[in-house]
Amino acid sequence: KSGKAYLFEAALSNGDKVDTFAFRVAVKNTPFSLVVLVLASELFGNMAPWHLPLAMGVLAIILLAGTAIIFRINTQNLVLCARLEESSKREQEIEEKRCLLEKEIVERKRAEEALKESYKELKAAQEQLVRHEKLAALGQLAGGVGHELRNPLGVISNAIYFLQMTLSEADGTTREYLEMISSEVSNADKIISDLLDFSRVKAVEREETSVSGLVSKVLEKQPTPENVEVTIAIPPDLPAVFVDSVMIGQVLSNLVTNACQAMPEGGKLTISAQAEK
């Protein structure tokens, strides 16, 4: 029968008998058939034919066990991958929260710095307001005191002028004392004027000012004692400064006065200036 295997014993040339399979294959559209002989040992090796089902069963069991092991490994890998993915998501969430926390910390620090700066500005404004109020009160007091003092000083000054005119032929000592009194009255009037100027709150008016010219102007208005030698050491190429010449002139005048008062027996007063690099 075509397609069916037949098992029989065949004798080899040496007389040994071996199991042989015969297969008949019909040639299509012809009355002929092909017969193929195959030694059983070539199909099963040294294994007996009845061992094949057993070997196939063992192989099937091994394959099933391997499949189960592979399935288990794959399942464990899937679980591990899921856990790793979940862990990665958690790490990403933690990293995002950490970045948000750092950003919040930076923003809070900036807010604290801004708050500190605002507090400093507020405190400076408050101190300036208090200082202005004090100066305003001092100005009112100085204005009243100056008015009260200038009236008698004016009377004294007029009296001195009258005495100088009347006693024009007086001796030198009398004229010297009259000049001394007149000078002290002028000094007292200047002190009152300085006090009034100090108490007034004026807006700063900056302008380009020559340092040497400002010093010369101050010394012209404020003569120094004869026993004080004044030296000016200001380079001719010193750049001009942008300041309020009136206020800075008052500061220089006070410094010169203090320096002269610190040298009652005379000395040397040096006024110098230089540009900072």
CB 60 within 8 A of CB 36: no
Question: What is the tally of structural domains in the chain?
Answer: 2
Calculate the CA dihedral of residues 167, 172, 175, 176 and round it to 10 degrees: -170
Q: How far is CA 135 from CA 149, 198, 205, 251, in A?
A: 20, 8, 19, 17
pLDDT value of residue 81: 83
Residue type, 94: I
* Domain that residue 240 falls in: 205-277
pLDDT value of residue 13: 73
- Tell me if residue 268 falls in helix, strand or coil: strand
Residue-wise pLDDT tens digits, 18-72: 777 666 666 566 666 666 666 666 655 555 555 556 555 656 676 677 677 777 7
> Can you give the length of the chain in residues?
277
Residue 260 has pLDDT above 60, yes or no: yes
pLDDT value of residue 162: 83
Q: Which two tokens stand for residue 144?
A: 């009243």
Query: Does the residue 226 lie in any domain?
Result: yes
CB 249 within 8 A of CB 207: no
- Burial of 254 per CB tally in 10 Å (0-12, 13-18, 19+): middle
Query: Does the residue 27 lie in any domain?
Result: yes
Mean pLDDT of the chain: 78
Separation between Cα atoms, residue 250 and residue 214, nearest integer Å:
10
Query: Does the residue 85 lie in any domain?
Result: no
Calculate the CA dihedral of residues 194, 200, 206, 208 and round it to 10 degrees: -20
Residue-wise pLDDT tens digits, 235-251: 888 888 888 888 888 88
pLDDT value of residue 14: 75
Residue type, 112: E
Query: Does the residue 271 lie in any domain?
Result: yes
* Helix (DSSP H) and strand (DSSP E) numbers for the chain: 5, 7
pLDDT value of residue 44: 55
Query: Does the residue 71 lie in any domain?
Result: no
Query: Does the residue 265 lie in any domain?
Result: yes
Query: Does the residue 130 lie in any domain?
Result: no
pLDDT value of residue 85: 85
pLDDT value of residue 72: 78
- Burial of 163 per CB tally in 10 Å (0-12, 13-18, 19+): middle
Of 126 and 43, the one with more pLDDT: 126
pLDDT value of residue 37: 67
- Tell me if residue 142 falls in helix, strand or coil: helix
Phi, psi for 190 (deg, rounded to 5): -65, -40
With residues binned 3-state (H G I as helix, E B as strand, rest as coil), the percentages for the chain, rounded to 5, are: 65, 15, 20
Give me the CATH number covering residue 210.
3.30.565.10
Query: Does the residue 23 lie in any domain?
Result: yes
Residue-wise pLDDT tens digits, 101-119: 889 899 999 999 989 999 9
Helix ranges, 167-206 (H): 172-199
- The model's pTM is 0.37
Final residue before a domain boundary, out of 46, 61, 76 = 46
